[in-house]
Structure 1
Amino acid sequence: MEYVEVARCVSERGELVLRERRPDGGGPTVLELRANGTFVMDTAEHASERALADAALDAVADPRRVLVGGLGLGFTLDRVLGDSRVEHVDVVEIEPVLVDWMRDGTIPHGRRLLADSRARVVVADIARAVTEAGDATYDVVLLDVDNGPDQLVHDANRAIYEEPFLRTVHARLGPGGALVVWSAARAPRLLETLRSVFSDVEERDHAVRLQERDDHYWLYAARRT
């Protein structure tokens, strides 16, 4: 396997690297995103991003306004925009360079996604963006900002899995609204915390195939009933 760096940026949160994986003997090239040396996601396997979006969109009857925490490589946003019921999507991303890579075509499918008039990108910390959202309400909130509460890319993200922030999200949801959180590993403490805030909470095991090995991701869905 050959690795070729496409782009790199260092911010106050550390290093963000976009690189290509080129299989020996040919085969499709895969774009991979890493933060501080930790694998975040790639273009080869994005079924979990689709599952995250589907779980949230299926949880409500009329998901017109959606908030996505974490832009990543855009696959969650792509899935959300593919639902004709969605009228507006706010995407909150803390790394401005990641948004730039989407807009300038460094991430090839980025321009198409961000050109959709329903999508608005906010460069900010998700906790601050939700707290300062004023009177804004959403039908669906999706959180995919790192690898879950026990595999943090940035230590500051710990707060979004704790009760005060989750109560803020609850307040931003309209009646019957849904929150779905993605995690790379099972998170029993998150499940317990969600149950202290929401009356309807579900833990889902999602099987994936990652670079020739089987793995599991986890989705935590909560509804404001």
Structure 2
Amino acid sequence: MAVERVATAHSPRGETVLSRREDGTLELRVNGVFVMDTAHTASERALARNALDAFHGSPGSARDGTRVLIGGLGLGFTLHEVLGYSEVASVVVSEIEPAVVEWFLQGLVPEIAADRHDDRVTLDTAEITESVSAQRDSTLDVLLLDVDNGPGYLVRSENASVYGTGFLRQCRDKLAPGGLLAVWSASPAPELTEAVREVFGSVEQRAVPVTLGSLETEYHLYTGRIGAN
């Protein structure tokens, strides 16, 4: 299948490419490694839905004014799903690659192009660790981590620290009472389970069925909550 390069960018982390296949599907690759495409967005959407539904479904949490931070913009479908919740008042999106942010602002992904005009969104071109550190303590309600496909499928080796107790404690400190951290993983991650449990006192691991074209598979969501017993 022929592939057209829509945009290419280079940064200290390497080459980022946005391509279009013959069928119109857009595809994002980093240093030649497939990251995501517009044909299969179920996992990105499921991350947002499962996390926000869990937060709003807990006692005392179903309220307007929900403040969200997303680690990873990608092609924008996690953000798109989050913006579909009227309870959401603000979203900070952390994305390390300036080109990915610029392509979003240019509207190169038609399905989510209107989201660039949503005044609830703040784009932070920075490492996720820097974006989280910049937040005031106890100010976030939901923190979604989707910078990789989990600790077993790192886009960059440096991201390994994102799944350790040190960074997870920073995330905990930024969450308001009742706040929820959600980490997405393409496969079971026992070490992540233990790290979230150590930091939050408990962890919920949920297998999430996802349909990717004709493939039926399962992804995994790990959540920790402030005040959980």
In structure 2, the gaps of 5 or more residues are: 56-60
* Two-structure CA RMSD over aligned residues (Å): 1.6
- Equivalent position to 2:167, from 165, 168, 187: 165
Residue matched to 1:41: 36
CA distance in 2, matches of 1:99, 1:192: 33
1:21 to partner: Cα distance? 2.1
Q: Does 1:56 align with 2:58?
A: no
CA distance in 1, matches of 2:212, 2:113: 26
Q: Which moved more, 1:127-136 or 1:181-190?
A: 127-136
Residue matched to 2:13: 13
Q: 1:211 to 1:11 in 2, by over 3 A?
A: farther
Structure 1 segments (4+ residues) deviating >4 Å = none
Number of paired residues?
Answer: 220
Residue matched to 1:113: 115
- Asked if the contact 1:200–1:224 (Cα under 8 Å) also holds between the matched residues in 2, the reply is no
- Equivalent position to 1:126, from 108, 125, 128: 128
**Matches of residues 75-224 of structure 1 in structure 2 within 5 Å?**
75-135=77-137, 137-210=139-212, 212-224=214-226
- Asked if the contact 1:55–1:221 (Cα under 8 Å) also holds between the matched residues in 2, the reply is no
CA distance in 1, matches of 2:111, 2:43: 18
Q: Which moved more, 1:206-215 or 1:88-97?
A: 206-215
1:214 to partner: Cα distance? 3.6
TM-score, normalization: structure 2? 0.90
- Asked if the contact 1:184–1:218 (Cα under 8 Å) also holds between the matched residues in 2, the reply is yes
In structure 1, the gaps of 5 or more residues are: 24-28
Q: 1:152 to 1:177 in 2, by over 3 A?
A: same
- Identity percentage of aligned residues: 50
Give the 3-state SS of the residue equivalent to 1:87 in structure 2: strand
TM-score, normalization: structure 1? 0.91
Q: C-alpha offsets along residues 35-58 of structure 1, whole Å, 9 cap, x if unaligned?
A: 122211111111111211112111
1:108 to partner: Cα distance? 2.5
CA distance in 2, matches of 1:45, 1:219: 18
